[in-house]
Amino acid sequence: MTQTRPQTSDYAPNFAKYVSRVPDGDLLEILENQRRDMLRLLEPLSDTDGDFRYAPDKWSIKEILGHLNDTERVFAYRLLRIARGDQTPLPGFEQDHYVKAANSSARKLASLLEEFDSIRSASAGLILSLDSASFLRRGTASGKEISALALTFLIAGHALHHQAILEERYLPALRIA
């Protein structure tokens, strides 16, 4: 399912960093590859590794994974509502409050990874269910207009953003220690 890239008018400027990370190609294949890559990247880590922070004020690996899970759920919910033509403005969410309330550090890393796997499968199923007209629908989320197509790219791009941070800042430090 190769999708046309969303135009910059399809999403708020603060989302450009996520959309730009998504490579060209079949979006469902990209999502599946991400799912496998994330599991391959994090499954070898212990629960102690999952508590690692590369700096005192940064999220732990478990918290990043919990954040990915929550954010993908929010983006998929927005996608569902907008793709179905619901014009009700959707509220934003404060990621730092969600991370704190989720208490991901108290969970097993394997549990968070299983949740990621399930959420990603559900997101892919939702995207697969949409017809071409659904991707063109627009709605409002966080006070900004956004298209359903842009939301599919946000799901992929947000995960790529955090995977890059894990690979650049977290995992090298764990392998040295």
**What are the Cα distances from residue 125, in Å, to 31, 95, 111, 116, 135?**
11, 25, 21, 14, 14
Give the pTM.
0.95
pLDDT over 50 (residue 177): no
The structure tokens listed for 86 are 């619901």
From 28, 31, 114, 17, select the one nearest 65 (Cα to Cα). Answer: 114
* Residues 76-132: tens digit of each pLDDT: 999 999 999 999 999 999 999 999 999 999 999 999 999 999 999 999 999 999 999
Q: What is the mean pLDDT of residues 20-43?
A: 96
Domains and CATH numbers, the chain: 8-176 (1.20.120.450)
Q: Is the pLDDT of residue 176 over 60?
A: no
What pLDDT is stored for residue 1 in this prediction? 64
pLDDT tens readout for residues 49-69: 999 999 999 999 999 999 999
Q: Kindly state the tokens that stand for 2.
A: 């190769």
